[in-house]
């Protein structure tokens, strides 16, 4: 562990996932989290006998992977893993590596490859399969070219598929289990049951709960930070809000949050954030009102990339300016999440760590000589929300739609003016109000209004109007990488358009953006 990592799992029962490079290793972790089991994914290169001794797992899972065990130099677990005396589950490549390591045989394809849906039929009783095979076969997801042609001594076959005679194998006396398919993926509909059985058999008590996490994370933050000061950039988004509240609970006044108002926030947003954290939580909070600076620099700019660059640079300058005023600051808090830090196996040059650079303070820790404190780095997004609830943050904060760092600037194509921003804020507030009133907020991943750089002619009462057109945008998505437009009822759209035109001076035409991503992006710039 590097010195900036906290280890909230120190006293938890731990499961080790040895990663051989599968695309879906994260999903194994996800399934285990759902069972309240703490696990860590480590690339096989980093796992040696010393690591195993220190980590002391209660059980081990070998992930799948893209290599062939037949090839020289292909990934292997350390041999000592088989002597730990703990249950091991091998998946796909993990099965093959286990069979080969323990004296079985793996061969290449020749008509035995299987990709996609397959059906496994049972072959005898096995505790790992309890609750499975309610029918006479189970759907599973296969993705293998090589196959096991001879199982290792001590193993028996408990399930077969047309192209995998050793689809499910086990050496019950040693608690070693190995399957050819991927129980962690959606297309193995009952796969979670396998993990449930595995962790039960391994003796996990399910001690990975949010309440326990909270206590341990607080202890770990205190230990890491000592009596130094921590700076936390607060945007009002879920991650930074939860990180701030957790840190505050741990170190109180040693924490100072910096909230930068760049003049591109939504209606009442600055007031709400400041009120919540300063008045409710009594946090030390710097409200950096830098609206004039940002809007001044953006004046006359209409190119999307130029706007983003201006905002990004100013943000860092401003953040640094305020952070420099905080005495004895040694740490910068970031709301980095688990999917951002999972070490993935790179077959082109050793393990690589992907860490999301925070949109707004990227590069700052090095520049300012600060160490990082990342109290959410063990959590998935929905777990961050659960922790937020555990910490008493209101649902209105926890369940918020994502909001981009550059704010309304990228929802105002063309030139940004204060007048247009004001119109946009009002229209956006009406749209979100409509969505909430109709009970749709949680079904939609993100929703907002963009004000278009075009005025159109209309007629209101007996008079001609010449005002801005706006576009409503509402999408469904899982991760923001792909998205589809939300299929509102026509009545909803009609009612919303009427409300916006009636209630928001400056807009006389409303359109609904029905572009998916790809080919569009979610934001307009």
Residues recognised as catalytic = 92, 182, 184
**Does the annotation flag 236 for ligand binding?**
yes
Which one of 54-62, 181-189, 397-405, 490-498 is the stretch in contact with ligand XMP (CB under 6 A)?
397-405
- C-alpha 96/C-alpha 62 separation (Å) is 10
| Size of residue set near ligand XMP by CB under 6 A | 11
Contacts of 370 (CB under 8 A, 6+ apart): 231, 329, 330, 331, 332, 364
**Does the annotation flag 238 for ligand binding?**
yes
Tell me whether residue 87 or residue 406 sits nearer to ligand XMP (CB atom).
Answer: 406
Tell me whether residue 61 or residue 409 sits nearer to ligand XMP (CB atom).
Answer: 409
- C-alpha 348/C-alpha 337 separation (Å) is 25
The least distance separating ligand XMP from the CB of residue 365, rounded to whole angstroms, comes to: 18
The least distance separating ligand XMP from the CB of residue 521, rounded to whole angstroms, comes to: 3
The least distance separating ligand XMP from the CB of residue 288, rounded to whole angstroms, comes to: 17
Contacts of 86 (CB under 8 A, 6+ apart): 57, 58, 59, 60, 175, 202
Pattern 15-44, binding to ligand XMP, x per CB under 6 A? ------------------------------
**Does the annotation flag 239 for ligand binding?**
yes
Which one of 1-9, 96-104, 329-337, 401-409 is the stretch in contact with ligand XMP (CB under 6 A)?
401-409
What are 449's two structure tokens? Answer: 């209004």
Site for ligand XMP in 51-90 (CB under 6 A): none
Tell me whether residue 96 or residue 334 sits nearer to ligand XMP (CB atom).
Answer: 334
Which one of 9-17, 63-71, 402-410, 436-444 is the stretch in contact with ligand XMP (CB under 6 A)?
402-410
The least distance separating ligand XMP from the CB of residue 522, rounded to whole angstroms, comes to: 3
- Cα–Cα distance list, 289 to 259, 286, 317, 346, 410 (Å): 8, 9, 13, 44, 20
**Does the annotation flag 131 for ligand binding?**
no
The least distance separating ligand XMP from the CB of residue 414, rounded to whole angstroms, comes to: 17
Which of residues 104, 183, 365, 405 is near ligand XMP by CB under 6 A? 405
**Does the annotation flag 241 for ligand binding?**
yes
Site for ligand XMP in 337-366 (CB under 6 A): 359
The least distance separating ligand XMP from the CB of residue 514, rounded to whole angstroms, comes to: 15
SS3 label, residue 205: coil
Which of residues 404, 430, 471, 474 is near ligand XMP by CB under 6 A? 404
Tell me whether residue 183 or residue 404 sits nearer to ligand XMP (CB atom).
Answer: 404
Sign of torsion, CA 138 141 147 148? negative
For 210-278, give the DSSP string.
HHHHHHHHHHHHHHHHTT-EEEEE--SSHHHHHHHHHHHHHHGGGEEEEEEE-S---TTHHHHHHIIII
Tell me whether residue 166 or residue 448 sits nearer to ligand XMP (CB atom).
Answer: 448
369: left (phi over 0), alpha (psi -120 to 50) or beta: left
- C-alpha 382/C-alpha 358 separation (Å) is 19
Pattern 302-341, binding to ligand XMP, x per CB under 6 A? ----------------------------------------
Q: Is 8 in the site for ligand XMP (CB under 6 A)?
A: no
Which of residues 109, 350, 402, 494 is near ligand XMP by CB under 6 A? 402
For 330-393, give the DSSP string.
EEEE----HHHH-EE--TTTS-EE--PPPTTTTTHHHHHTPEEE-TTTT--HHHHHHHHHHTT-
The least distance separating ligand XMP from the CB of residue 405, rounded to whole angstroms, comes to: 3
Tell me whether residue 304 or residue 458 sits nearer to ligand XMP (CB atom).
Answer: 304
- C-alpha 43/C-alpha 17 separation (Å) is 8
Tell me whether residue 222 or residue 359 sits nearer to ligand XMP (CB atom).
Answer: 359
The least distance separating ligand XMP from the CB of residue 161, rounded to whole angstroms, comes to: 39
- C-alpha 9/C-alpha 59 separation (Å) is 15
Sign of torsion, CA 32 36 42 48? negative
Tell me whether residue 343 or residue 523 sits nearer to ligand XMP (CB atom).
Answer: 523
Q: Where are the beta strands (DSSP E) in 98-241?
A: 105-107, 114-122, 138-144, 147-150, 156-161, 164-171, 176-179, 229-233
Identify whether the C-beta of residue 68 lies closer than 8 Å to the C-beta of residue 97: no
The least distance separating ligand XMP from the CB of residue 483, rounded to whole angstroms, comes to: 7
Question: How does strand 176-179 pair with strand 147-150?
Answer: unpaired
Pattern 363-392, binding to ligand XMP, x per CB under 6 A? ------------------------------
Count, residues in the chain: 525
The DSSP element (H or E) to which 11 belongs, if any, is none
Count of CB atoms situated within 10 Å of the CB of 319: 22
Which one of 24-32, 262-270, 369-377, 404-412 is the stretch in contact with ligand XMP (CB under 6 A)?
404-412
Find the helix packing angle between 418-437 and 490-503, rounded to 10°: 140
- C-alpha 46/C-alpha 1 separation (Å) is 11
Site for ligand XMP in 426-485 (CB under 6 A): 446, 480
Taking the alpha carbons at both ends of the chain, their separation in whole angstroms is 40
Which one of 79-87, 127-135, 174-182, 400-408 is the stretch in contact with ligand XMP (CB under 6 A)?
400-408
Site for ligand XMP in 506-525 (CB under 6 A): 517, 521-523
- C-alpha 471/C-alpha 299 separation (Å) is 23
Tell me whether residue 401 or residue 455 sits nearer to ligand XMP (CB atom).
Answer: 401
Which of residues 39, 406, 452, 509 is near ligand XMP by CB under 6 A? 406
Binding-site residues for ATP, in ranges, read 235-241
Query: Contact residues for ligand XMP (CB under 6 A)?
Result: 359, 402, 404-406, 446, 480, 517, 521-523
Binding-site residues, in ranges, read 235-241
């Amino acid at each position: 562990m590097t010195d900036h990592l906290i280890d909230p799992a120190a006293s938890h029962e731990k499961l080790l996932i040895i990663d051989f490079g599968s695309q879906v290793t994260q999903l194994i972790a996800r399934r285990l989290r759902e069972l309240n089991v703490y696990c860590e994914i480590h690339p096989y290169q980093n796992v040696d006998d010393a690591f195993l001794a220190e980590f002391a797992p209660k059980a081990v899972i070998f992930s799948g992977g893209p290599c062939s065990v037949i090839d020289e130099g292909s990934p292997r677990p350390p041999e000592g893993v088989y002597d730990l005396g703990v249950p091991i589950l091998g998946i796909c490549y993990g099965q093959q590596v286990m069979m080969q390591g323990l004296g079985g045989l793996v061969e290449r394809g020749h008509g035995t490859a299987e990709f996609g849906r397959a059906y496994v039929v049972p072959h005898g009783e096995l505790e790992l399969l309890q609750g499975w095979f309610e029918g006479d076969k189970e759907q599973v997801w296969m993705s293998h070219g090589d196959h096991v042609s001879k199982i290792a001594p001590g193993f028996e076959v408990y399930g077969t598929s047309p192209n995998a005679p050793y689809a499910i194998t086990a050496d019950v006396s040693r608690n070693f289990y190995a399957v050819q398919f991927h129980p962690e993926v959606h297309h193995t509909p009952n796969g979670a049951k396998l993990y449930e059985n595995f962790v039960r058999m391994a003796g996990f008590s399910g001690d990975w709960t949010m309440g326990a996490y909270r206590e341990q994370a607080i202890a770990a933050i205190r230990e890491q930070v000592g009596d130094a000061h921590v700076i936390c950039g607060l945007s009002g988004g879920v991650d930074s809000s939860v990180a701030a509240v957790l840190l505050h609970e741990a170190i109180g006044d040693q924490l100072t949050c910096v909230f930068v108002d760049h003049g591109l926030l939504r209606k009442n947003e600055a007031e709400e954030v400041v009120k919540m954290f300063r008045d409710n939580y009594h946090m030390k909070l710097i409200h950096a009102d830098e609206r004039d600076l940002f809007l001044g620099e953006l004046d006359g700019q209409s190119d999307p990339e130029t706007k983003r660059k201006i905002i990004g640079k100013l943000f860092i300058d401003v953040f640094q300016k305020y952070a420099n005023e905080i005495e004895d600051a040694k740490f910068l808090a970031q709301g980095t999440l688990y999917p951002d830090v999972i070490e993935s196996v790179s077959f082109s040059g050793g393990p690589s760590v992907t860490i999301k650079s925070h949109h707004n303070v990227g590069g700052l820790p090095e520049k300012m000589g600060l160490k990082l404190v990342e109290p959410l780095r063990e959590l998935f997004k929905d777990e961050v929300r659960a922790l937020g609830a555990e910490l008493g943050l209101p649902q209105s904060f926890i369940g918020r739609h994502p909001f981009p760092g550059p704010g309304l600037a990228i929802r105002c194509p063309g030139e940004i003016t204060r007048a247009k921003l004001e119109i946009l804020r009002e229209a956006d507030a009406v749209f979100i109000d409509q969505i909430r009133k109709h009970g749709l907020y949680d079904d939609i991943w993100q929703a907002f209004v963009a004000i278009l750089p075009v005025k159109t002619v209309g007629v209101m009462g007996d008079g001609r109007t010449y005002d801005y057109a706006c576009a409503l945008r509402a999408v469904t998505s899982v991760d923001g990488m792909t998205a589809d437009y939300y299929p509102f009822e026509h009545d909803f759209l009609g009612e919303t358009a009427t409300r916006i035109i009636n209630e928001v001076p400056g807009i006389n035409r409303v359109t609904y953006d029905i572009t998916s991503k790809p080919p569009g992006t979610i934001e307009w710039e």
